[in-house]
Structure 1
Amino acid sequence: MVSSSSLSLLALLVSLSANILAAPHPSSPVSLSMNLKRRAPEARSADDINAWAHAHKLNVEAKYGNAHKTGKRSSGQNLIVNQKADSSFFGSVAVGTPPVAYDVILDTGSADLWLASSTCTDSACDGIPTFKSSSSSSFQNKSTEFSITYGSGAAAGSLGEDVVQMAGFSVSNQVFGVCDQVSDGLLNSPVSGLLGLAFQTIASSGASPLWETLASSGAWDQPLMAFQLTRFNNDSQVQELEPGGTFTMGATNTSLYTGDIDYNDIPDNEESYWLQTVSSITSQGNAITISSGSSALAAIDTGTTLIGGPADAVAEIYANIPDAEAGTGQLDGYYIYPCSTNVNVTMAFGGKSWAISNADFQAEQLNENTCMGAFFSLSTGDNAPAWIVGDTFLKNVYSVFRYNPASVGFATLSSESLAMNGVSAAVPSATIGSVATVSATASAGARDANNGAASMLSLGPTLSLLVFSMTMLLLRLV
């Protein structure tokens, strides 16, 4: 028999757990202890912006196999923390025995996990947590070279195998790159590496990605993962790091969107990038000419900041914007236009049409009157999609990446999601999540696995541990 005092405590705990599992709120719960990594933003000159834009374009072209470049396809920028005013979004994984937490870019445009090694002596590795293989009793050296090349640099090292945990799930023998060579600019503190969230077919390592192992083994309640990203690029008081939104593994968070999720299948036998067919684009209310077939394919990529596409279509978008002009020099491929213009652009992928906010279209302000647009022209490789759709679009929707059937879905952001834009709060640091993990093996075959509830990275893995502890207490009381 449960006493009245126990029932009162039970009611209180149920109430608290409901608040914890709800969508993240801009004001941080006082019971959470999180390290704040914030500093005043540095003013960027026009030259700085030009250099960044040029590097971003090269980066995307190299990532998607531009034929005139020599680099392998791999990663981009992007737990959820919003870094450098929407430039990238990162989360955390725990690696090794005992587990150590690392911040990693969350990238649906690549399929490899890699971390900077403790043996890295490059300046890019200064001041960031690095992986020390000798500190993990479960690490195994694969004795295989590994490298990732970008338009603006590279990372190289060797492949290893170890326990990797994320959001309450664990893969016991995840293969990942341990990089002792990292070019300047690839990592910005506190980020230590990158987590690829695309399909194994494009993995440079050939290994099953962490997410695909979990999805295929039945470890998740539903074979999907979802993102809600915040917007800070239009906030003049933005800090270096801000709350970035929510990454959910194994379920959708219904408090973060409204209505139905509009799913569109990935083209048959094209499980590589998260591909969608661009069915329509409008600019200032006018339809843009979209080529058919492979020229209409788009990679939905959380690791890319802006939106790249074929030169003719991008030019047509800006042709509808009064006084827009093609950029020159380092802004070649970009367009500039009067900041006072309210730009209205929409995109559709076979279903509903989705609007891109004027704040997101206005990627950078070059001077008092002139802004740079978020769409830029790029040339990808023969086997790569013509369009790369990054965070400029994804900040405007709730995005779902479904393993089976292979598809991408978008939904309208809820008022709770929209209320997080531009609101500073505690930034989650890399932490070790709940010990109640679901294990799977990295071979990604159809295997038996323990049933586990979907785990959500709403305000960082700290919540997973708190929810688990409260659940155990509730069970003991009852």
Structure 2
Amino acid sequence: MSVVAALQYYGSVSIGDPPQAFTACFDTGSADLWVPSTACQTDGCTDHQQFVQSRSTSFNGSNPANFLIEYGSGIVAGSVAFDTMRVGDPVITIQHQGFGLADAATSAFVAASCDGLFGLAFPGLSKLAVLPPFFSMLKEGAVDWGGFSLWLNPNTRSATAPAGELIFGGADVNRYAGQIRYHPNQGARYWALNLSGAKVGGKSVGNLSSTGALLDSGTSLIFTSDADAAALNNAIGGVKYWAETGLYNVTGGCSKISSLPTIIFTLDGTDYPLDPEDYVLQIPEDNPRLCISGILGGANREYIVLGDTFLRKYYSIYAANADGSNARIGLGAAVAQ
């Protein structure tokens, strides 16, 4: 996997026969695979690789259904098609995989590091009404084990180390330390865990509206409701809310990071701490004067969204049966490289 500014993690996927190569952002918070089509002439598509259906001998776009997907960063719309998909090394091949051919994408996708998106969530979340790629792998027996694992390198400053690693059908014991603790997945659409509380500096933060935590590799930071974000950041102290930006800036600049407290999220009864070096961002990375809390508002009141800030700290494993039953999430301490 590759990364841009520790914000978007992406890798390679090909569609069609012969294969047409794309970069795709791997997203545990959505369920669909889509790439731009040549019919899309908006800037969100033309700045990226586009799928040419006439070049694929295995393309099936008969009786296409339309789709529209709204993300936090923009909207994508188009039609549903089927073709051969290849991903990974060694290559996993899925015949007749459903995917989206985007013929419109908002300008927010112009700056995206990836051409399209590779959703890893459950079929019930699919806006295309097709089986997501990972569940196609399970149905067809294309992987040796019914799960995938995600490692996001905690070392975000190395220019030579790998940014991350996604393994279908297994895990890499060298990417985590200690044991993996498994928890039952909550719900049938998202990869999510029960959130039983949060502590800042050892003290409980009361009256949080969020009762669940989504693990979302497609989200860079940690998002929650405005009220919960205010409660958590007020408990942190040493950060000040700027109404103009909606951000919580570290008072006194980046030299004060080490004085901030540890945050603990209790997931399914297990504590998962984040040190200030984990949840504070320096913007840009070489500006010592501007650091912000990576806990922001604007999300649904029911869930806190634990994005890459959390997933760099913890190696994560996602497992389920082909029908989505017996879903569980494993977490362990990620090892930096």
| TM value normalised by structure 2 | 0.88
Task: Spell out the pairing of 1:15-26 with structure 2 (5 A cutoff).
Answer: none
Matched with 1:150 is 71
> Which stretch shifts more, 127-136 or 148-157?
148-157
- Matched AA of 2:264: T
Task: Spell out the pairing of 1:20-419 with structure 2 (5 A cutoff).
Answer: 80-83=1-4, 85-141=5-61, 142-167=63-88, 168-188=91-111, 191-231=114-154, 235=157, 243-267=162-186, 270-289=187-206, 291=208, 295-329=210-244, 331-332=245-246, 334-338=247-251, 339=254, 340-342=256-258, 343=260, 344-365=262-283, 368-380=288-300, 385-404=302-321, 405-413=326-334, 417-418=335-336
Measured in 2, the distance between the counterparts of 1:286 and 1:153 equals 37
Mapped contact 1:117–1:180 kept (Cα < 8 A)? yes
Distance 1:401 1:159, change over 3 A: same
Mapped contact 1:321–1:337 kept (Cα < 8 A)? no
1:242 Cα deviation from its structure 2 partner: 7.3
SS in 2 for 1:359: helix
The 4+ residue runs of structure 1 with deviation greater than 4 A are: none
1:128 Cα deviation from its structure 2 partner: 2.2
1:124 Cα deviation from its structure 2 partner: 2.4
SS in 1 for 2:278: helix
Measured in 2, the distance between the counterparts of 1:290 and 1:400 equals 30
1:278 Cα deviation from its structure 2 partner: 1.2
1:113 Cα deviation from its structure 2 partner: 0.6
Cα deviation per residue 1:358-387 (whole Å; 9 max; x = unaligned)? 233112437654421100122428xxx421
Distance 1:100 1:365, change over 3 A: closer
Cα deviation per residue 1:220-243 (whole Å; 9 max; x = unaligned)? 22111000102465x3xx77x973
Distance 1:351 1:222, change over 3 A: farther
- When Rg is computed on C-alpha atoms for both structures, the one with the higher figure is 1
Q: Which has the higher contact order (CA 8 A, sep 6+)?
A: 1
Gap runs ≥5 in structure 2: none
Measured in 2, the distance between the counterparts of 1:265 and 1:173 equals 31
SS in 2 for 1:312: helix
Cα deviation per residue 1:69-109 (whole Å; 9 max; x = unaligned)? xxxxxxxxxxx1111x1111011111101112211000010
| TM value normalised by structure 1 | 0.63
Mapped contact 1:337–1:370 kept (Cα < 8 A)? yes
Gap runs ≥5 in structure 1: 1-79, 421-478
SS in 2 for 1:243: coil
Measured in 2, the distance between the counterparts of 1:316 and 1:151 equals 23
Which is helix-richer, 1 or 2?
1
Q: How many residues are paired up?
A: 323
- Matched AA of 2:249: I
Mapped contact 1:259–1:412 kept (Cα < 8 A)? yes
1:169 Cα deviation from its structure 2 partner: 1.5
Measured in 1, the distance between the counterparts of 2:46 and 2:161 equals 22
- Matched AA of 2:11: G
- Matched AA of 1:258: A
Instruction: Give the superposed CA RMSD.
Output: 2.2
Measured in 1, the distance between the counterparts of 2:320 and 2:331 equals 15
1:389 Cα deviation from its structure 2 partner: 1.0
Measured in 2, the distance between the counterparts of 1:362 and 1:223 equals 35
- Matched AA of 1:286: K
Which is strand-richer, 1 or 2?
2
Measured in 1, the distance between the counterparts of 2:73 and 2:145 equals 37
Mapped contact 1:279–1:290 kept (Cα < 8 A)? no
Measured in 2, the distance between the counterparts of 1:189 and 1:388 equals 20
1:274 Cα deviation from its structure 2 partner: 0.5
